Amino acid sequence: MIPILVTSGKGGVGKTTTAINTALALAMKGFKVSLMDADLMDPTTHLAFNVNKESLREHGKMLLPIKVKVGEVELEFMGLGPFVPRGVGVALSYEKTVDFIITLLKFVRWSGEYLVIDTPPSSLDVNVKLFKELRDRGRAVIVGEPHPYAFEDNLRMLDLLRMYNIDVRAIVLNKYNLFVRELAEAMEKEYESLKLKVFKVPWDAELQLGFKPELFSELVEVLVA
Amino acid sequence: MSLGLKAKLLTIIPKLVMLGLTRFNEFLEEFPDAKTRSTVLILRDDRGGRMAIYIGFQGDRPVVREVDPRSPPRATTEIEMHVDTFIAVLKRRLDFRTAYIHDLVDVRSNDGLPPTYHLILWSAFMDKALEVLG
């Protein structure tokens, strides 16, 4: 199984949307795909699939991932979201957060060829723990907006990922059309100089309302190559 | 055991747990390996009082008994909380998962599985038990 981290230096830039649609785009290409929500501070991925805690099951001292179907494709999913009651603030200590992540990574019977992981934003210590676990074998895509602050944060994230020998292949520049064009183009060139394939995703109301994996099919080609 | 009135009332807990176990067959459908596990549930009060309940299996038969909290038998899981937390959970004023997330419940693992794993099992069991208790 090849882990694909969907990560970013900043929060709220579209990681979850990218993770879900990337997973679906992979599945539409015929791959068996698992999707893990590791964003334990703000778990939301389960909302896209209407997953609830009653769906949890175990077999052979491993948790079984939850099967979710979107159209004709099926994914495996697991995350903290279905486990935490709605509206409850998640105040997990570092130790508990890491324990949750280890449980999700190692004690779920994942069977996908690819494991897409929606991560928490920034270089939080829990992210570092996750990167260490996936050292030398993970692939990654960074998600950001073409804004100067996001750029600085993503440079740090890129450095961190490469420090753990995670193969960062691409950056998704979300809501590309909403930012100053000259700045966005300058950043695009900077990212390309750092050997990242740049994918520009325009702001799209339909992405808020549902799935649009076709927007991510070119990204998937780069991630599986 | 230096227990106050509240804690004395809690001596009915083994019976409550046994009652909760009446839904155990349903629970086993979702978590079939639970029969191979055991738990020591430890409740404490503000005055240093502690009580411990062992929950396990002998064959297919559930075993629930009060044990000495100073030297409880070894179990695959230890769960510890204040009696007020436990009462709040039983009264459904507090969700068991929320109690854990907010550090009101400690889960310790003795079988190599992550504490989170045991927490997930226990949360599912509590859901079933609370349905029985009404």
Q: Which helix (H) or strand (E) holds A40?
A: none
Mean pLDDT within A39-62: 77
E strand residue ranges, A71-179: 73-79, 114-118, 139-144, 167-174
Asked if A84 and B97 come within 8 Å (Cβ–Cβ), the reply is yes
pLDDT of residue A123: 66
Mean pLDDT within B30-35: 80
ipTM of the complex: 0.82
Mean pLDDT across chain B: 85
Contact A116, A77 (CB under 8 A): no
Query: In this predicted model, what pLDDT tens digit does every residue of A188-211 receive, in sequence order?
Result: 999 999 999 999 988 887 777 678
Contact B20, B69 (CB under 8 A): no
Query: In this predicted model, what pLDDT tens digit does every residue of A2-33 receive, in sequence order?
Result: 999 999 988 888 888 999 999 999 999 999 99
Query: In this predicted model, what pLDDT tens digit does every residue of A83-114 receive, in sequence order?
Result: 887 888 888 888 898 999 999 999 999 999 99
- pLDDT > 90: what percent of chain A? 50
Q: Which helix (H) or strand (E) holds B114?
A: none
Q: Which two tokens stand for residue B34?
A: 């639970």
User: Which A residues in the span 125-144 are in contact with B, Cβ-Cβ below 8 Å?
Assistant: none
Q: How confident is the model at residue A124 (pLDDT cuts 50, 70, 90)?
A: confident
User: Which B residues in the span 94-133 are in contact with A, Cβ-Cβ below 8 Å?
Assistant: 95, 97-98, 100-103, 113-117, 120-121, 123-124, 127
pLDDT of residue B1: 43
Query: In this predicted model, what pLDDT tens digit does every residue of B61-118 receive, in sequence order?
Result: 788 888 999 999 999 999 999 989 998 998 899 999 999 999 999 999 999 999 999 9
Q: How confident is the model at residue A163 (pLDDT cuts 50, 70, 90)?
A: very high
Domains in chain A: boundaries: 2-224
pLDDT of residue B8: 63
Q: Which residues in B lie closer than 8 A to residue A92 (C-beta atoms)?
A: 101
Encode burial over B22-45: b for 16+ CB neighbours within 10 A, e otherwise: ebbeebeebbeebeebbbbbbbbb
Under DSSP, the state recorded for B76 is S
- What CATH number should be reported for the domain whose range is A2-224? 3.40.50.300
Q: CA A156: distance to chain centroid?
A: 17
CATH number of the domain at B5-128, out of 2.102.10.10, 3.40.50.720, 3.30.1050.10, 2.60.120.380?
Answer: 3.30.1050.10
Domains in chain B: boundaries: 5-128
Contacts 24+ apart (CB under 8 A), B52-57: B53/B13, B53/B14, B53/B17, B55/B17, B55/B21
pLDDT of residue B111: 92
Q: Which residues in A lie closer than 8 A to residue B98 (C-beta atoms)?
A: 84-85, 88
